[in-house]
């Protein structure tokens, strides 16, 4: 299990799992954002902010490092998205990111 967060040009979040899912392409912030939009914003957006967490305004700016780190932690530990919700696909996990 490897987890890296790097802020060079913009944001790069990488999640590599023990299952050997490999990043198929350089992770990019657009992919990360689209995954957050798809899986997280319904509970962490403008209308609802579960746990006081709001994710719809993320842009990938390095100042959001703490938020991304929390996002990464939640996804990686399997706590988010909540169990009853659609899980992230292997592709989403591997190529990315959040």
Q: Are 11 and 68 in contact (CB under 8 A)?
A: yes
Quick one: which segment of 2-10, 13-21, 76-84, 89-97 binds ligand HEC (CB under 6 A)?
Answer: 76-84
Q: Smaller CB distance to ligand HEC: residue 19 or 89? A: 89
Distance CA 68, CA 72 (A): 6
Q: In this structure, what token pair is assigned to residue 15?
A: 């999640």
- Within residues 27-46, the interface with ligand HEC by CB under 6 A covers 39-40, 42-44
Distance CA 39, CA 32 (A): 11
Task: Answer yes or no whether residue 70 interacts with ligand HEC by CB under 6 A.
Answer: yes
Distance CA 29, CA 27 (A): 7
Q: Smaller CB distance to ligand HEC: residue 6 or 73? A: 73
Interface contacts to ligand HEC, rule CB under 6 A:
39-40, 42-44, 50-51, 53, 70-71, 74-75, 80-82, 85
């Amino acid at each position: 299990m490897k987890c890296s967060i790097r802020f060079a040009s913009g944001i790069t979040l990488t999640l590599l799992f023990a299952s050997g899912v490999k990043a198929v392409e350089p992770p990019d912030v657009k992919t990360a954002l689209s995954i957050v939009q798809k899986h997280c914003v319904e509970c962490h957006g403008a209308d609802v902010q579960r746990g006081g967490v709001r994710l719809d305004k993320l842009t990938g700016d390095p100042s959001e490092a703490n938020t991304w780190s929390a996002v990464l932690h939640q996804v990686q530990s399997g706590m988010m998205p909540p169990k009853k919700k659609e899980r992230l696909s292997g592709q989403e996990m591997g190529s990315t990111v959040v």
